[in-house]
Amino acid sequence: MPDMPNSPDRARVRFPGISSRAYEHPLDRSALIALRSLSGFDVVLRKLSGLISERAIRLMYLGGTVRVSDGQFRNINDMVRDACYILDLPKVPELYVVQNPQPNAMAIGTDNPFIVLNTGLIDLLDDEELRYVIAHEVGHILSGHAVYRQMALILTGLGSRLAWLPLGNIAIAAILIGLQEWQRKAELSADRAGLLASQDVDAVKRALMKIAGGSRLHEMSTEAFLAQAREYEETGDLRDGVLKFINLMRQSHPFAVIRFAEIHKWHLSGEYQAILDGRYPRRDDDSSASFTEEVKNTARTYKESWEQTSDPFVGKVRDVAGGAADLAGAVFDRLGRRGNASAN
């Protein structure tokens, strides 16, 4: 495939030079900036990536699936090029179609990330819904999620070998919880990228409803599904809150109703409209992004979210989490003062 995508097949707003910071969830964004700011991180990442042969993985898909092109799945090929044009991703990733009834898609790779799309998803969604899903995966690539997800898998595998150490299981469990929380927030970020590229919130909502309930869309209602999301968020006693927390820990993705509610809220927010109006951070400025500011933004976002929720379990842990956030803020302020003193 050529490196530069063509213009989209219908008029949409394009975002030249857009930084992934424009749409990333605050927790996802702060974690990525922290990783990118570590001295020598890229070297470590490449060494870890060398433990798994990306070339072997690509050859497996090249030999056992269908690579989209102008001659194969041309409509899907146009969609991935369209998404790359809108989000200004210079190099169009390869996309492979896999015969698998499970509706799923993923982005893989470090040096040359590519997208894998199951036939179950193609059969389930219409063209505009599928456009959102493909743009969702392009968003993962633009954010670097494919790289960090692969790194997380490697680190998880290495960590499991250390479980015999004293308190090793507890430490590894804590790491896994953190990685899974990041991955769930990364999915929310990619949903936003999917909406930015498709610019069709109804198609995004339909896709999420179908992922939850199948193809019988005429039997479903966006209003009822949103009400279901609100009920999930608001009802239940302390026991239900604990159970929801435990259930979510087992998921690599947020539940569909959560994703539906999040994209509904973001679509109505000023952030989404500002991006459409051309007011968004550029990737040329990524190197100067402040990790401390991102941490503060994350804390503010969670504080607002937790203050608005009526979940009793969240209510019980709110004060403890708030104290931890205050402590973290104090630590960052102290580190900042030390850094300034050293610079002077």
Which amino acids are annotated catalytic? 137
The three-class DSSP label of residue 109 is coil
Question: In degrees, to the nearest 5, what angle opens at C-alpha 302 toward C-alphas 172 and 254?
Answer: 60
Q: What does the radius of gyration of the chain's CA atoms come to, in whole angstroms?
A: 21
- Among residues 25, 22, 21, the alpha carbon closest in space to that of 258 is found at 25
The secondary structure of the chain in percent helix, strand, coil, rounded to multiples of 5, reads 70, 5, 25
How far apart (Å, rounded) are the C-alpha atoms in residues 200 and 86?
13
How far apart (Å, rounded) are the C-alpha atoms in residues 24 and 72?
32
Q: Which residues lie below 8 Å from residue 307, measured CB to CB, with a gap of 6+? A: 318
Burial 211-227 (b: 16+ CB within 10 A, else e): beeeeebeeeebeebbe
How far apart (Å, rounded) are the C-alpha atoms in residues 24 and 41?
21
How far apart (Å, rounded) are the C-alpha atoms in residues 148 and 133?
20
The three-class DSSP label of residue 120 is helix
How far apart (Å, rounded) are the C-alpha atoms in residues 65 and 59?
10
Question: What torsion do the CA atoms of 146, 149, 155, 160 make, to the nearest 10 degrees?
Answer: -140
- Among residues 169, 168, 37, 55, the alpha carbon closest in space to that of 112 is found at 55
How far apart (Å, rounded) are the C-alpha atoms in residues 133 and 303?
30
